[in-house]
């Protein structure tokens, strides 16, 4: 339990040990679906307005960003990826979703998909860790470069 506590507060105490060693805080991501693309995630006032209904301090919001590039694709709605720095606030965000400008945004937890190796094409590890022989992407047989 103490080790987990040290890891979640790593960003607070590592600069004390070595000022050159900077770590990012532990974050807890979730999705908000069907958000109008007129929303600007970078604008601080909108972030405060969005989260005041859930009583989440805007300083606990690590990032709010679009999933993909909805404005480039001329979409009217898209999904936001909301990342918090406090695990305590995640259930508040998920319970009942969010309402922004009269629009209900369904919130769901973020679940990391399984990673696929682009070297051997197996699931569960990444190419930079793969020790297997390469497989051809087109035919699925051992690579014939």
Q: How far apart are the first and last CA of the chain?
A: 50
User: What pLDDT score was predicted for residue 65?
Assistant: 85
Question: pLDDT means per 10 residues in the chain (145 residues)?
Answer: 68 77 78 76 73 77 83 82 83 80 81 85 88 87 72
List, edge to edge, every strand of the sheet that includes 28-36.
61-66, 77-84, 28-36, 107-109
pTM of the prediction?
A: 0.63
Task: Give pLDDT, residue 144.
Answer: 65
> Given this model, what pLDDT does residue 102 score?
78
Where do the H-state alpha helices sit in 18-121? 44-52, 90-94
CATH class for domain 2-109?
alpha beta
In this structure, what are the phi and psi dihedrals at residue 129, rounded to the nearest 5 degrees? -105, 0
Q: Write down the domain spans for the chain.
A: 2-109, 116-145
Q: What is the pLDDT of residue 41?
A: 76
The predicted structure's pLDDT at residue 25: 75
């Amino acid at each position: 339990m103490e080790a987990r506590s040290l890891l979640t507060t790593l960003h607070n105490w590592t600069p004390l040990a070595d000022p050159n060693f900077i770590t990012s805080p532990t974050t807890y991501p979730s999705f908000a679906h069907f958000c109008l693309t007129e929303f600007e995630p970078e604008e601080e006032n909108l972030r405060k307005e969005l989260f005041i209904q859930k009583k989440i301090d805007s300083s606990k919001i690590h990032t709010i960003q679009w999933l993909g590039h909805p404005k480039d694709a001329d979409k009217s709605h898209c999904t936001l990826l909301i990342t918090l720095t406090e695990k305590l606030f995640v259930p508040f965000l998920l319970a009942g979703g969010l309402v922004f400008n009269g629009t209900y945004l369904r919130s769901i937890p973020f679940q990391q998909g399984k990673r696929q190796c682009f070297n051997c094409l197996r699931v569960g590890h990444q190419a930079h860790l793969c020790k297997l022989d390469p497989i051809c992407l087109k035919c699925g047989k051992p690579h014939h470069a």
